[in-house]
Structure 1
Amino acid sequence: MSVRRSIAFSALDRYLTQVLTIGTTMVMARILTPAETGLFFVANAVIVLADNFREFGVSNYIVQERTISRAMVQCAFTVTCGLSLVIGAGFFLGADALSAFYGEPHLKPLIEAATLSFLVIPFATPVLSLLRRDLAFRALAIINVLAAVGNTIVTIVLGLGGYGAISYMWGYVAANAIMAFAAYSFRPELWMYRPSLSGIRRLLSFGVASSSVTLITMAYEMLPRLAFGKLLGFDAVGLYSRAIAVCQLPDRAIVAALQPVVLPAMAGQAREGRQLKPAYLHGFELMSAVQWPMLLMLAILADPAVKVLLGSQWGAVPPLVRLVAIGTMALAPAFLTYPVLVASGRIRDTVYISVISVPPSILLVIYAAKVYGLLGVAASLLVIAPLQMLISLLFIRRAIGLTFRELASAACSSGFLTLGTALVPCLILVWSPRGFDLDWLQTCGALLGAAVGWGAALLVGNHPLGQEIAVVVRHVFGALRLQRPAMNVASPE
């Protein structure tokens, strides 16, 4: 139940922040042009890469260690603080060169503004890591929601004030500053910030492997933003990035809630000597039961979804969304790969997976962009996503003794759910005279039919997600009964 409570608070955190993020996206999509949006995404890609290297896997190092000491936390802070100052200064001084490379002078102030966050975020890292290790996700939810609120307010106010793409960057800086202050308010322990290099060799060994995986993965994910700005223009960056953002909604709604909890939970199971394979298969069943139907619905309802989320100036996005959503379905178990390998003591396997799978993926994306344009890039995910997942599963099999038959068995029940969800929407789509461009009545009918189909398939198929929902409901009602005051009945005289 402690894990379930952690997931509940993590889900609350992520859903609230996603509501704010979606609201920000909807407002800013109507203020900024695709070119301005593309300009932000290029700058953001550079900063996100730098920020992931700055973190150096320190948070995961603290979470997965069997025993933790003050010296270890102080060393983690020292390393991240030093890296933050060096990287922030480097990007601030190199903003001119990056702007010149893209031939876009407006890129410079965006990068310069974002590097200010590197001055404050290291002070949040040790606190957030310790809270994750202790499964204190209630505190983490408060911190993250406060930061998201600050981000939303600053971004939208500046956007409405005509500041353009840099509005996003000032929102990012505000969010990191709020996060640092809020984290310290939960654990105002100054000993964490005392410089120390005790145990740095062990931290560096883990950090090099972890940051290598992160950088390789992030480089691949950010490649469209970085390369398309040069190959296809900032309009293409804006269009493709918005398509990816729409397709990431299911991922952010589910994985974002589970991801912070998975590594601490699996690391705890490993410390207790328990097998990780049952947890891996159970996690995959739960994830695919929601992600697959949602992605398929996004592919079917791409046109109305884009109209609602982004507005009329993004008419080129729906075809990209359909291809990306279908390709992303292959990655349902991907969120478990890093946690299960790290908890198994196989951090180096995560590096091997990235080194094997990412280079051919990058080459295929660049080839598709040059020859076929944006649609080709989106279609390349139909090959890249299954390839990356297959390579990951080969290493996971060795780590936890997983067989493909067990994985296929876990996937069958979720496949049944997905078919049940898609039945009514597909019939509406076939009968629609305008193809994918459904009107609002048809869209509402498709959503209602999908919800009924998913619920019916959940009951008929006896899916493990239904059992989890039943456990949570029983726990909630049990807690409510305990809190209900007892009735005082007067005894007869």
Structure 2
Amino acid sequence: MSTPRRAFIMSSIEQYLAMVINVSVIATMARILTPDEVGHAVTGIGIGAIALSLREFVTPEFLIQKKDIDRQDLSTSFTLLSGITIFVGLAVFAVSGEISRLYGSPELVLFLLLFLLSAVAETISLPVIAVLRRNMSFGALANMRTVALIVYAVVTITLGFLGFGFVSYAWGTLANAMVLACMTAYAAPYPISSMCRISVAGWRNVVAFGRFKGASQAIDRIYETVPQLILGKIISMSSVGLYNRANTICSIPDRLIMSAFYAMAFPALAAGVRDGRDIKQAYLDTLSYLSGIYWPGVLLIALTAEPIVNLVLGPQWHEAILIVRLLAGAAVFWFAVIGINPLLLALGQNRDAFLSSFICRSIAAALLCTASLHGILAMALSQFVAMPAQMIISLYFARRHLRFTFAELWGAIAPSMLVTSCSMAGPLAMLVANHGNADTNLPQLAATLVLAAAGWFPGLMLANHPLLVEVRLVFKTLLSLAPWLRRNSATTG
């Protein structure tokens, strides 16, 4: 099995486990906390995330792109990352009292303190994670992240049951960061003491890589959080909780597919650039793979929004159902956006990576912030403008460097349209048979998912989709991991 393919499989396994754990936390906490309390947690996380986005200006990810790294690079990365984290942490904590008064939430002070302490712990793990990603050590990385995530889940849910309220999330985040820091320090492919030495000798390499990456990350955080912060101040914290959880549910296919892709895309594409491989074809293949899985996923979420919301969040979150449907429908255009940043970074086009992110996010943030003044329904509807705009801009920047034609682009995604149609045929027929009533019980939801899967695989064969090769490879891999199946197969033969 090739290294990029193995990396994707390992990243996918990690993402599947992470999704199961995160959904378990969300489902449990949704029944412990009210939408208002969840809104306070989302606000605290958003404020911390915006402030800590400054760390991306000295991101350790420059270690992935650099042809050769030494201990001086590691020390510089740790020194700059620690310095900015401590500075940002002290600055945010200094104004945390004013923030808590602004939102009428005294517990936000403690929440922000714990969240910032977790960021300090991350200064040990982040450089090590970058090196492990560079080395394609996704198996070890998946194991460590999964263990840390389990700790997060246990701490968060336990404290939630004990009445710690939304601050339970902050304690869980701190526990996750500390456990991950300890494990990465142990698993580091170099003495951790050498990394923790104070040095700024290689700061130019860090800043040269991070200046555009940091600006892009800051814009991403503003796009993701500022509209919700406005919503929480002007409308209500309950609206923040509803919108955030609706967004979380409709992003399940994103977490399953796109996150796994992004975790290994930059290292794999960077290795391809160093080795002189055909990056254009790799990018077009990636669009084909992603659209073939992602489109059926988000449309299925839109179709089954009501039973999924009831199952994951519970009846008190009924208002989120329409928002899930709208966000999932708009997400069809998102498949092309996720690949542009790792592509441009791998090509060394950091400036264009920043520009594409800046233009996309600026348009989307302006639309969302304006819509947030009118409530969560307006925010969801605005995504039908924001998402297509981001897709067009991302494809423009990709085409600028890879020079693919529109015919080549169509050839990459057209088979996925047929696959999506085949996948959705069964669920739509079931909806018609149910007289258009989308409120199904669990057995009907399970039947809908089975029908979608039953249509998806024949769709791959009918369209002769490139994913068919990968699916067969996965089956062979699973067969190789199950000795009893091999014996049965050999006996039958």
| Compared CA separation, residues 396 and 300, structure 1 to 2 (3 A) | same
Contact 1:224-1:237 at 8 Å conserved across structures = no
Q: Which residue of 2 aligns with 1:210?
A: 213
* TM superposition shift of 1:387: 0.1
- 3-state SS of 1:335 partner: coil
TM-score, normalised to structure 1, is: 0.94
Contact 1:120-1:180 at 8 Å conserved across structures = yes
1:330 partner letter: F
Which of 344, 348, 352 is residue 347 of structure 2 equivalent to? 344
Contact 2:58-2:77 at 8 Å conserved across structures = no
| Counterpart Cα distance in 2 of 1:143 and 1:166 | 24
Runs of 4+ in 1 over 4 A off after TM superposition: 475-481
| Counterpart Cα distance in 1 of 2:478 and 2:438 | 41
Q: Which residue of 2 aligns with 1:436?
A: 438
Q: Which residue of 1 aligns with 2:279?
A: 276
Deviations 1:213-249 (A, max 9, x none): 0110121011232111112110100000000000111
Residues 1:309 and 2:312 are matched in the alignment: yes
Q: Which residue of 2 aligns with 1:458?
A: 460
Contact 1:346-1:399 at 8 Å conserved across structures = no
| Compared CA separation, residues 355 and 126, structure 1 to 2 (3 A) | closer
* TM superposition shift of 1:475: 5.0
Q: Which runs of 5+ in 2 are unaligned?
A: 488-493
Q: Which residue of 1 aligns with 2:147?
A: 146
Deviates more, 1:174-183 or 1:90-99: 90-99
Contact 2:103-2:233 at 8 Å conserved across structures = yes
Instruction: Please give the residue correspondences for 1:102-121 in structure 2 after superposition, counting only pairs within 5 Å.
Output: 102-121=103-122
Q: Which residue of 1 aligns with 2:491?
A: none
Residues 1:158 and 2:153 are matched in the alignment: no
| Counterpart Cα distance in 2 of 1:16 and 1:357 | 30
Residues 1:296 and 2:299 are matched in the alignment: yes
Q: Report the number of matched residues.
A: 483
| Counterpart Cα distance in 1 of 2:364 and 2:16 | 31
| Counterpart Cα distance in 1 of 2:448 and 2:121 | 46
| Counterpart Cα distance in 2 of 1:467 and 1:239 | 40
RMSD: 1.9
Instruction: Please give the residue correspondences for 1:394-473 in structure 2 after superposition, counting only pairs within 5 Å.
Output: 394-433=396-435, 435-473=437-475
| Counterpart Cα distance in 2 of 1:48 and 1:321 | 24
Deviations 1:306-348 (A, max 9, x none): 0010001000011001110011110112221111101111110
Q: Which residue of 1 aligns with 2:132?
A: 131
| Counterpart Cα distance in 1 of 2:280 and 2:58 | 24
Contact 1:293-1:418 at 8 Å conserved across structures = yes
Q: Which runs of 5+ in 1 are unaligned?
A: 486-493
| Counterpart Cα distance in 2 of 1:189 and 1:356 | 39
TM-score, normalised to structure 2, is: 0.94
| Compared CA separation, residues 405 and 82, structure 1 to 2 (3 A) | same
* TM superposition shift of 1:474: 3.7
* TM superposition shift of 1:477: 4.7
Deviations 1:249-298 (A, max 9, x none): 11111122221111011001101122211111111111111111010000
- 3-state SS of 2:32 partner: coil
* TM superposition shift of 1:434: 6.0
- 3-state SS of 2:60 partner: helix
Instruction: Please give the residue correspondences for 1:154-233 in structure 2 after superposition, counting only pairs within 5 Å.
Output: 154-187=155-188, 188-233=191-236
Deviates more, 1:449-458 or 1:209-218: 449-458
Contact 2:58-2:81 at 8 Å conserved across structures = no
Residues 1:327 and 2:330 are matched in the alignment: yes
Contact 1:217-1:354 at 8 Å conserved across structures = yes
Q: Which residue of 1 aligns with 2:360?
A: 357
| Compared CA separation, residues 242 and 477, structure 1 to 2 (3 A) | closer
Deviations 1:352-388 (A, max 9, x none): 12332323322222332334x2111101111100101
* TM superposition shift of 1:440: 3.6
| Counterpart Cα distance in 1 of 2:481 and 2:104 | 60
| Compared CA separation, residues 156 and 475, structure 1 to 2 (3 A) | closer
| Counterpart Cα distance in 2 of 1:112 and 1:58 | 22
Instruction: Please give the residue correspondences for 1:25-104 in structure 2 after superposition, counting only pairs within 5 Å.
Output: 25-56=26-57, 58-104=59-105
| Compared CA separation, residues 449 and 156, structure 1 to 2 (3 A) | same
2:423 partner letter: T
| Counterpart Cα distance in 2 of 1:210 and 1:391 | 18
| Counterpart Cα distance in 2 of 1:409 and 1:146 | 41
* TM superposition shift of 1:479: 7.5
